[in-house]
Amino acid sequence: MATELRQLRQTLIFLRTSFEAVQHSIAGRLDDPLPCWLDASLLAMLSRELKRCYHEAALVNPPLAKQVLIASQHSDLLLRQCPGVMSSAVCFRQLEGVLKPLNAAISLLSYPEKRSWPWQRR
């Protein structure tokens, strides 16, 4: 079980980093009123990976699965509106809707603080 959780954590970190990269790529155009044109194939791949993570998380950790499901739903909504329907600012906020639950999911998988024995000095 620990191996599956470790792998799930690494995948979620990869997804968070990927969505952050997409978000940062449009950050410079937030004042641009023109539609945002994201790579829909990249978003589709990330969305599929979120769904796969949700199914894995549902087997081992329901609270984690709930956060991944929320991220997946936001990703699907973004994908339905992409490319070219939203402004860069709206797209940026939609990506934040994916990142917040991803961050919450990753925090649920954070490793506990390393414990030391009472006789060990810190």
What gap in Å lies between CA 15 and CA 1, rounded to an integer? 21
> What pLDDT is attached to residue 114?
59
pLDDT tens by residue, 66-88: 999 999 999 999 988 877 778 88
Mean pLDDT score across all residues of the chain: 87
> What pLDDT is attached to residue 121?
59
Query: Do 110 and 6 contact (CB within 8 A), yes or no?
Result: no
Mean pLDDT, 10 residues at a time, over the chain (122 residues)? 85 96 85 80 94 94 94 93 80 93 91 63 56
> What pLDDT is attached to residue 10?
94
What gap in Å lies between CA 122 and CA 2, rounded to an integer? 27
pTM of the model: 0.84
What gap in Å lies between CA 69 and CA 25, rounded to an integer? 24
Q: Which two tokens stand for residue 120?
A: 């060990």
Q: Which two tokens stand for residue 33?
A: 């009123």
Angle at 46 between CA 44 and CA 47, to 5 degrees: 60
* Three-state secondary structure string covering 50-94: HHHHHHHHHHHCHHHHHHHHHHHHHHHHHHHHCCCCCEHHHHHHH
DSSP 118: T
What gap in Å lies between CA 100 and CA 97, rounded to an integer? 6
Closest CA to 105 of 61, 74, 73: 61
